[in-house]
C-alpha cells in the first residue's frame, strides 16, 4: 500500500446480525443526518479532522459498508486491503450467532489490517475495555462501545476515530519516508566509507572486512588466501606531466583491467580487487594451492598492470612494485596478513631490480630492528655517540698525505657499532638527517680546532650534503655559524655531495652550491660515473673535485673496460681543470693502476682505514713525508658505502 500518494475516504465497516441496527448505523453516518440538536462545534470538529472530506454543510462524509456475520467481515477487510481501499473503522457486534463472535472476528481482522480501528459493540457491561485491548492489541486501536447508543454519539465516535486513523496513516507515511531516507543515506554513507570514489572498488576498510570473511571461509577449505599489493611506480610523475584528469583515468583503467582479469567467463568474481591507497591496489585470492600458483598469480598481476594503457591518445608503460603474503603462513588474522604484504611491498619499492617481494620472516625482524633503532638513534644524537672518523687521502705523485675524509660513525656505550648503512638512510626517513649533518659538522670543526692547537693545521674539511640538506634554506647560515663559533677558516671546509643527489633536482642544487662556493667552500662530487644525466652540469656548477665511484675501482683487476672508463673520467677532469680522486682502493694492484692513469689522489683501505680523531694524529706522525703535507682537502662524508 502506497500511503504517500493516496487520499483515503472515511470508509467504515458495520458488522451486526441485526438489520435494524445496521440501518441505524447507515442513518446516523449518512450524509443527510442532521439531528435537531446538532451543534456548530461538531461541524468544526469534523472540518478540522477531515478537511475536504465533508459535505457542503461541513458535516463529515462516511463511506459505510455492512456485513451481518464475522466471517463476512473478515473477508470484506481482506478485499479492502487488496484493493488499496482500507477501512478506517470496523464496528463489530460482540455476539452474532450462529457464526464467530465479534472478539474472534476482531482478532482475525487485526491480522489482516494492523491499522484499522476496531470498535467492539455490546449490550452488556463486560468484557471491560482493558481486557479487549489485551486480546486484540494494540490497545490504542481497539475500543468499547455500548448499546443502545445514541446516533449522535455514534457519529462523534466515527468522526474522532476516522480523524485518528488519518493522523496515524500520515504519521506512518512520514515514518516510512523517514526510514527510506535513512536507508538511502546510510547506503550512501556506507558507499563513501567502504568504496573508493574514483574507481568504485572496495577501499582499504572494506578490503580488510573482505579478507576477514575469506579467512573465516578458508578455515574449512583447502588452499591459502593470498594478498597481492601493487604500487604504481612514479604515479605522481604522471599526474604532474599529464595532469590529474589523466591520472584519474589511468586509475580507473587499472581498476577495470584488474577486475576483468579476475572474473570468469560467466562474469563471476574469482578474487576481490580493491584500491588500497593513493596509487596502490590490492588483490585478495582464496584457494591457492601451492607456492608455484602464488608466483604465477603475482606475475599475472604484474603483467596485467605493466601492459600498456592508452590515456589521452598516448601509450603509457607502467612499472609496478608488488608485495605478496598469504594466510595462514604469514598470519592468522586479516591485519597481520595485510601488514606482511605491506612489508613486502615496501621492500620491492626500495629495490632496483626486484618488482615482486614475497614476504618472509626476516623482514619482520628487520622491521622490528628498524623500529627500535629509531628511538635509539635520537638518543645517540643527543648523547654525542655519533661522531666523525677520518680516512686519509694520499697524493699519487708525491706519496704525501693530501686530505682526509670524515665518515659518520655510531659507537654505542657498550662498544658495539651500528653500520652507517642502517642509520644514515633511517635518518633520512625520519627527517632528522639535518640534525646528524649539524652534529658531524660540529664534531669536525671541534677536531680541527683541537688539531690546530697542537700544530700548524692547514687541511680543510668537507661535509657531505644530502638532497634534504640542499632544500634547507638555512644551510649556508648554519655552516657559517658553526665555523664562527669554533673560529675555523672557511678554506678548511669543503662540501661533498653524490652525483645521484645532485642530479635529483639540479634547479634546487645549483643556486645553493653557487652561494656556498661564493662564500669560499670547495664543492666536491662523490660517486662520479654513476649518474645518468648529461655531464653538462659540471660546466654549470662550481665544482673543484670529482671522486670516481669505488665500484669502478673494485673491478679494475677484472676488466680492461673499467680501466678505460677511469681513464676517460680522468681525461674529462683534467680537461675541466678538476682534481680527480680514486676512492675504494684496497690493493697494491689497484693503487698502481689508478696512479698510472694519473688520478691525483687515492683513498681506501690500502692507505688507511677510518679512525677516530685521537688515533689520526698518531697515524700522521708515523706517515712518511708528513712534514711536506700539501694543502689539499679533508672530506666529511656520511656515505654509507665506506
CATH number, domain with residue 345: 3.30.70.270
Which stretch of 58-62, 81-85, 498-502, 566-570 has the lowest confidence by average pLDDT? Answer: 58-62
Is 146 within a domain?
A: yes
Is 375 within a domain?
A: no
Q: What are residue 611's DSSP bridge partners?
A: 390
- Residue 289's region, left for phi above 0, alpha for psi from -120 to 50, else beta, is alpha
**Is residue 299's pLDDT more than 60?**
yes
Count the Cβ atoms, other than its own, within 10 Å of residue 541.
Answer: 16
Q: What is the rounded CA–CA span in Å between residue 417 and residue 32?
A: 109
- Residue with the larger pLDDT of the pair 275 and 58: 275
Helix, strand, or coil here: 82? Answer: helix
- Residue with the larger pLDDT of the pair 186 and 571: 571
State whether 444 and 540 are in the same domain: yes
Is 364 within a domain?
A: no
Q: What is the mean pLDDT of residues 177-203?
A: 86
Q: What are 70-84's pLDDT values in tens digits? A: 999 999 999 999 999
Is 642 within a domain?
A: no
Q: What is the mean pLDDT of residues 588-596?
A: 92
Last residue of a domain, one of 173, 195, 219: 173
Q: How confident is the model at residue 628 (pLDDT cuts 50, 70, 90)?
A: very low
Phi, psi for 381 (deg, rounded to 5): -65, -45
State whether 221 and 156 are in the same domain: no
Q: What is the mean pLDDT of residues 102-108?
A: 91
pLDDT at 430: 83
CATH of the domain at 102: 3.40.50.2300
State whether 607 and 464 are in the same domain: yes
Is 187 within a domain?
A: no
State whether 501 and 592 are in the same domain: yes
pLDDT at 130: 60
State whether 129 and 225 are in the same domain: no
- Structural domain span for residue 557: 384-637
State whether 242 and 349 are in the same domain: yes
State whether 395 and 475 are in the same domain: yes
Q: What is the rounded CA–CA span in Å between residue 414 and residue 4?
A: 81
Q: What are 370-416's pLDDT values in tens digits? A: 778 888 998 998 888 999 999 898 999 988 888 888 899 999 999 89
- Residue with the larger pLDDT of the pair 65 and 625: 65
Is 379 within a domain?
A: no
State whether 353 and 388 are in the same domain: no
Q: Burial of 449 by CB count in 10 Å (0-12 exposed, 13-18 middle, 19+ buried)? A: middle
Number of domains in the chain: 3
**Is residue 57's pLDDT more than 60?**
no
State whether 346 and 392 are in the same domain: no
Q: How confident is the model at residue 642 (pLDDT cuts 50, 70, 90)?
A: very low
Which stretch of 395-399, 409-413, 508-512, 628-632 has the lowest confidence by average pLDDT? Answer: 628-632
pLDDT at 534: 55
**Residue in the structure block whose three cell numbers are 584500491:** 275
Is 328 within a domain?
A: yes
Q: Could you tell me the sign of the dihedral formed by the alpha carbons of 200, 201, 203, 206, in that order? A: positive
State whether 514 and 616 are in the same domain: yes
Q: What is the rounded CA–CA span in Å between residue 326 and residue 295?
A: 12
Q: What is the mean pLDDT of residues 208-219?
A: 90
SS3 content of the chain, % helix, strand, coil (to 5): 50, 20, 30
Q: What is the rounded CA–CA span in Å between residue 302 and residue 448?
A: 54
Size of the chain in residues? 642
- Residue with the larger pLDDT of the pair 635 and 243: 243
pLDDT at 271: 93
Q: Provide the mean pLDDT of the chain.
A: 84
Predicted TM-score (pTM) above 0.75: no
Question: What percent of the chain shows pLDDT beyond 70?
Answer: 86
**Is residue 494's pLDDT more than 90?**
no
pLDDT at 347: 87
Q: What is the rounded CA–CA span in Å between residue 372 and residue 458?
A: 41
Nearest residue to 302 via CA among 206, 225, 224, 233: 233
Helix, strand, or coil here: 372? Answer: helix
Secondary structure (DSSP) of 214-264: HHHHHTTSSSEEEEEEEEETTHHHHHHHH-HHHHHHHHHHHHHHHHHHTB-
State whether 211 and 319 are in the same domain: yes
Is 91 within a domain?
A: yes
Q: How confident is the model at residue 530 (pLDDT cuts 50, 70, 90)?
A: confident
State whether 355 and 395 are in the same domain: no
Q: What is the mean pLDDT of residues 284-290?
A: 91
pLDDT at 78: 96
pLDDT at 269: 83
Amino acid at each position: 500500500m502506497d500511503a504517500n500518494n493516496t487520499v483515503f475516504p472515511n470508509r467504515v465497516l458495520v458488522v451486526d446480525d441485526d438489520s435494524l441496527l445496521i440501518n441505524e448505523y447507515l442513518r446516523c453516518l449518512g450524509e443527510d443526518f442532521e439531528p435537531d440538536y446538532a451543534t456548530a462545534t461538531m461541524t468544526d470538529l469534523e472540518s478540522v479532522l477531515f478537511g475536504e472530506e465533508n459535505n457542503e454543510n461541513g458535516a463529515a462524509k462516511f463511506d459505510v459498508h455492512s456485513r451481518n456475520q464475522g466471517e463476512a467481515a473478515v473477508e470484506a477487510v481482506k478485499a479492502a486491503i487488496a484493493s488499496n481501499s482500507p477501512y478506517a473503522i470496523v464496528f463489530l457486534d460482540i455476539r452474532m450467532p450462529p457464526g464467530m463472535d465479534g472478539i474472534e472476528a476482531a482478532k482475525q481482522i487485526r491480522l489482516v489490517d494492523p491499522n484499522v480501528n476496531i470498535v467492539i459493540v455490546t449490550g452488556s457491561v463486560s468484557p471491560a475495555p482493558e481486557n479487549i485491548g489485551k486480546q486484540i492489541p494494540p490497545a490504542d486501536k481497539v475500543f468499547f462501545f455500548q448499546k443502545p447508543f445514541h446516533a449522535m454519539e455514534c457519529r462523534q465516535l466515527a468522526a474522532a476515530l476516522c480523524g485518528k486513523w488519518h493522523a496515524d496513516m500520515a504519521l506512518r507515511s512520514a515514518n516510512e519516508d523517514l526510514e527510506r531516507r535513512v536507508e538511502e543515506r546510510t547506503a550512501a554513507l556506507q558507499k563513501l566509507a567502504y568504496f573508493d570514489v574514483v574507481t568504485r572498488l572496495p577501499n582499504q576498510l572494506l578490503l580488510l572486512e573482505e579478507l576477514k570473511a575469506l579467512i573465516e571461509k578458508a578455515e574449512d577449505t583447502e588452499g591459502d588466501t593470498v594478498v597481492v599489493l601493487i604500487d604504481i611506480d612514479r604515479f605522481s610523475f604522471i599526474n604532474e606531466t599529464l595532469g590529474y584528469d589523466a591520472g584519474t583515468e589511468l586509475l580507473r583503467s587499472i581498476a577495470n583491467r584488474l577486475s576483468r582479469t579476475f572474473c570468469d567467463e560467466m562474469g563471476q568474481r574469482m578474487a576481490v580487487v580493491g584500491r588500497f591507497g593513493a596509487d596502490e591496489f590490492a588483490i585478495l585470492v582464496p584457494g591457492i594451492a601451492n607456492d608455484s600458483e602464488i608466483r604465477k598469480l603475482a606475475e599475472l598481476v604484474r603483467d596485467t598492470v605493466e601492459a600498456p594503457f592508452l590515456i589521452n591518445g598516448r601509450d603509457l608503460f607502467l612499472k609496478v612494485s608488488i608485495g605478496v603474503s598469504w594466510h595462514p603462513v604469514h598470519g592468522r588474522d586479516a591485519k597481520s596478513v595485510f601488514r606482511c604484504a605491506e612489508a613486502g611491498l615496501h621492500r620491492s619499492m626500495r629495490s632496483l631490480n626486484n618488482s615482486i617481494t614475497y614476504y618472509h620472516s626476516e623482514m619482520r625482524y628487520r622491521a622490528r630492528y628498524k623500529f627500535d633503532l629509531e628511538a635509539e638513534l635520537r638518543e645517540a644524537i643527543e648523547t654525542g655517540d655519533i661522531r666523525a672518523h677520518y680516512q686519509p687521502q694520499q697524493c699519487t705523485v708525491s706519496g704525501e698525505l693530501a686530505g682526509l675524509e670524515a665518515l659518520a660513525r655510531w659507537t654505542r656505550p657498550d662498544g658495539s657499532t651500528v653500520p652507517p648503512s642502517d642509520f644514515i638512510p633511517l635518518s633520512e626517513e625520519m627527517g632528522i638527517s639535518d640534525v646528524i649533518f649539524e652534529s658531524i659538522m660540529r664534531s669536525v670543526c671541534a677536531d680541527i680546532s683541537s688539531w690546530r692547537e697542537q700544530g700548524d693545521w692547514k687541511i680543510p674539511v668537507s661535509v657531505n650534503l644530502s638532497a634534504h640538506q640542499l632544500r634547507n634554506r638555512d644551510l649556508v647560515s648554519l655552516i657559517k655559524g658553526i665555523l664562527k663559533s669554533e673560529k675555523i677558516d672557511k678554506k678548511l671546509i669543503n662540501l661533498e655531495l653524490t652525483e645521484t643527489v645532485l642530479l635529483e633536482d639540479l634547479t634546487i642544487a645549483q643556486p645553493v652550491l653557487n652561494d656556498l662556493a661564493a662564500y669560499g667552500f670547495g664543492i666536491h662530487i662523490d660517486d662520479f660515473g654513476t649518474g645518468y644525466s648529461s655531464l653538462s652540469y659540471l660546466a654549470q656548477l662550481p665544482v673543484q673535485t670529482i671522486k670516481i665511484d669505488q665500484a669502478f675501482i673494485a673491478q679494475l683487476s677484472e676488466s680492461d673496460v673499467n680501466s678505460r672508463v677511469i681513464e676517460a673520467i680522468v681525461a674529462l677532469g683534467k680537461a675541466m681543470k678538476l682534481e680527480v680522486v680514486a676512492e675504494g682502493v684496497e690493493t697494491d694492484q689497484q693503487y698502481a693502476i689508478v696512479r698510472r692513469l694519473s688520478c691525483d689522489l687515492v683513498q681506501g683501505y690500502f692507505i688507511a682505514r677510518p679512525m677516530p680523531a685521537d688515533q689520526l694524529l698518531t697515524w700522521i706522525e708515523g706517515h712518511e713525508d708528513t712534514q711536506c703535507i700539501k694543502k689539499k682537502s679533508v672530506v666529511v662524508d656520511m656515505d654509507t658505502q665506506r
